[in-house]
Structure formats: C-alpha cells, structure tokens
Amino acid sequence: MNKFTLPRQTAGRTVDEITGSRRLRRMRKADWSRRLVQENRLTVDDLIWPIFVIDGDNRREEIAAMPGVYRMTIDLAVREAERAARLGIPAIATFPNVDLALRDQTGSHILDADNVINRATRAIKAAVPEIGIITDAALDPFTDHGHDGILRDGVIVNDETVAQVTVAAVLQAASGADIIAPSDMMDGRIGAIRDGLDAAGFQDVAIMSYATKFASAFYGPYREAVGTAGLLKGDKKTYYIDHANSDEAVREAEQDIAEGADMIMVKPGMPYLDIIRRLKDEFQMPTFAYQVSGEYAMIMAAAENGWIDGDKAMLESLLAFKRAGCDGILTYFAPKVAEMLRD
Ligand code: PBG
C-alpha cells in the first residue's frame, strides 16, 4: 500500500463518506487561496473618526479610559483632520467637552453659533474641505445633568428637545457640517431636522440617524471624555432602546428612514452585530456601526496587559462589522487602522 492509498478510516465511516468528499479546508490551505475567497474587506473608505474638541490653544488632554485618544483644541483638531484626509479617511465626527460654566438645564449653549463645535466645523471645513464633517445634534455635552434632552421635573421632555435640536442642527449645517447625526433618540427628531435643514436651504446636508442606540454600559469612557460622567444622574432608559430588544430596533430604524434618514447607525457596535444584520437585510440602507468608547477601552486595556494582540483584535473587530453588513464604522481606531492599511 503506497502513501496515496492510506485508508482514511474513522471508527465507522471514512471522512470522505462523512463529508461527501466536501472539504472546506481546501480553500484555506494557503495565504493565496484564503485571499482569493475572502468575502469581506476592510478599507480606509470604511472609516469615520470620532474626535473630541475643547476650547483653547495648542493643547490636548488625555482621557484616562481611552489610551491614545485625546481632547484637542481646535487648532490641533484641524491638524488631525488634515492627517485624516491625507490617510484617506472619508469623514470625522466631532464631540465637544464644554466648559462647565456653559452647561445648563436646557443645554442652551448648543444654540450658540460660536460654540466650540461650530467653530471647529468652520475651522476644519476651511482648512480641509475634502473631508466630511459629521456633527452630533445632541444636548448631553451642553446640559448640566448630562442627559440628551431637556429635563423638566425629572422628565426628559421630547418635543421641546426636538425643537431645540433642530435649531442646533441648522446652526451646525450653517457652520459647514456635511452630515447631521442626532444621537438623542427623541421621537420625531429626524423628520424635524430634515424639515429644518430644508427650510434653511440645506437640502444637501445629510442625516445619519443614530437609529438604534441602546441603553448601554459601553459608553462609560465617552462620558469621561465629554465630561458628563460626574453630572449624569439616573440612566437614559426612557429614551435609548432596551438592550434586550431587537424588533423594537427594527421599528426605530423604520421610523427614522420614513422620516428622511439618509444613513442609519447601530450603537454600540460589537455586542449588536445581530441588529446590524437585521437592519441591513430589512432596509438595504447605508448602515453604520459605532464602535463605542467602551469597546475601544476593552481592546486597549487587554492589549496593554498583554492579554490579547491589540492590533489583531482591532482589525478583527472592524472586519466583523463589515461581515455583519456595515458600510462603515465610527471608530476611535480610525487613524491607526488607516496607517496600518496604508503600510
Ligand atoms: C450621547 C452620546 C453617547 C455617545 C456619543 N454621544 C452616549 C452617552 O453618553 O449616553 C457614546 C459614544 C461612545 O461611547 O464612544 N448623545
């Protein structure tokens, strides 16, 4: 018996009898064949980079729970936007950490055309017109209680919040924002913002809806970054989706699409891949995931402890979003990934 006819016998049947001669490992045997059959790819075109901006000059502050991520003054944010554009990152998303003295019960400072977000947008647009700018029309960095809505007698009031967020969105568009991404989950905000933008002549400004934003523990480091961690009392369960629910997420997305959302987002990301897949299958909309601060922090912390290979875990997590059906990902890893993909 020569080596080519060795019996591949198991206890009962041969492996070929078991598999019907189908062997899925055949195409995994070499790097070239794995590349040939790879179904999903991550490219720089998939990346949106969230950044944190503050007032001042030439200053950046560390965020303890987000190693490698900084709050930056506008001048530095402009330089980072230039770097992002050079790397080919299509868009950035800005979030402010506002002086505590400027925060109040209604988040009124969001209506200041010269607040740090609107000034950052103007500065970035002037210096780097080729990069997309996404702004969040949510009140939480502007309220003294850290909620995304106006708080009256312990209740987040929906319609008043929507009215204010709509004006804020128009101001952001007037400052040069290309996409308004309201993250507050108030009912009716997408339709109201669409009307507001259109009435002000901003038909070309798009809306990326945080269509399915879940009440989640994974936002912790972001709240440190924007300075709401110490302010927030209670939780956001009266406006974010219960993370036990999936049908409700579909209804939320359906509603936002009906009201005029151009793109939808799922947030957080990795624990919600099932939601991404459901929404993509159901609506075929441009669909995005926000790999949130807590997801970033977990990968970084494990990597810094030497418990996982951070770069590999980062790339695997991002490719998982593509496999789940995402067109792109908001991720704090964006510049790092873009550099790795380039090299
Ligand atoms: C609130 C908002 C949150 C994030 C961005 N905008 C969540 C929150 O504070 O409840 C989270 C982003 C992240 O965790 O990276 N409108």
pLDDT value at residue 13: 87
Residue ranges of the domains in the chain?
41-342
Which atom in ligand 1 lies closest to the alpha carbon of residue 332? Answer: 15
Check residue 7 and give its pLDDT: 59
Nearest CA to ligand 1 atom 10: 219
**Ligand 1 center to residue 241 CA distance, Å?**
13
Nearest residue (CA) to ligand 1, atom 6:
183
pLDDT surpasses 70 at 4: no
Residue 176 has pLDDT above 60, yes or no: yes
**Average pLDDT for the chain:** 96
Shortest-distance atom of ligand 1 to CA 50: 15
Closest residue by Cα to atom 7, ligand 1, is 219
Alpha carbon of 139 to ligand 1 centroid (Å) = 11
pLDDT of 236 > 70? The answer is yes
Average pLDDT over residues 2-15: 68
Question: Which three-class secondary structure state does DSSP give residue 128?
Answer: coil
Question: CA-based diameter of the chain, in Å?
Answer: 87
Q: How far is the CA of 27 from the centre of ligand 1 (A)?
A: 42
Q: If you average pLDDT over residues 248-256, what whole number do you get?
A: 98
What is the percent of the chain with per-residue pLDDT over 70, rounded to a whole number? 97
Which pLDDT does position 6 carry in this prediction?
Answer: 58
Round to whole Å and give the CA distance between 274 and 269.
10
- In this prediction, residue 282 carries a pLDDT of 98
317 CB near ligand 1 (under 6 Å)? no
Q: Using 50, 70 and 90 to split pLDDT, how confident is the model at 290?
A: very high
What pLDDT does residue 10 have? Answer: 63
Query: 279 near 285, Cβ under 8 Å?
Result: yes
Tell me the average pLDDT across 111-120: 98
Catalytic residue set: 213, 267
Answer whether 97's CB lies under 8 Å from 120's CB.
no
Contact predicate 80/124, CB 8 Å: no
Q: Nearest-CA neighbor of 262 among 204, 207, 328?
A: 207
In the predicted structure, residue 2 carries a pLDDT above the cut 70 = no
**How far does the centroid of ligand 1 lie from the alpha carbon of residue 219, in Å?**
6
- What does the pLDDT look like over 33-89, one tens digit per residue? 999 999 999 999 999 999 999 999 999 999 999 999 999 999 999 999 999 999 999
Pocket test for ligand 1, best of 148, 156, 330, 331 (most atoms within 8 A of CB): 148
Question: Closest Cα to atom 2, ligand 1: which residue?
Answer: 183
Could you identify the atom of ligand 1 that is nearest to the CA of residue 296?
15
Distance of CA 247 from the midpoint of ligand 1 (Å): 22
With the C-alpha atoms ordered 279, 135, 125, 193, is the resulting torsion angle positive or negative? positive
Report whether 152 contacts 164 (CB < 8 A). no
Please give the pLDDT value at position 5: 59
Contact 142, 108 (CB under 8 A): yes
Of 264, 273, 252, 251, whose CA–CA distance to 321 is shortest? 273
In this structure, what DSSP letter does residue 43 have? -
Statement: residue 1 has pLDDT above 90: no
Which CATH class, in words, describes the domain spanning 41-342?
alpha beta
CA 16, 18, 20, 21: dihedral to nearest 10 degrees? -30
pLDDT in tens, 191-224: 999 999 999 999 999 999 999 999 999 999 999 9
Closest residue by Cα to residue 196 from 171, 159, 179: 171
Decide whether any atom of ligand 1 lies within 6 Å of the 183 Cβ. Answer: yes
Question: How much is the pLDDT for 12?
Answer: 80
140 close to ligand 1 (CB < 6 Angstrom):
yes
- Read off the pLDDT of each residue in 256-267 and give the average, rounded to a whole number: 98
CA 310 to chain CA mean position, Å:
19
pLDDT higher than 60, residue 294: yes
- Considering only CA atoms, which residue is closest to atom 8 of ligand 1? 219
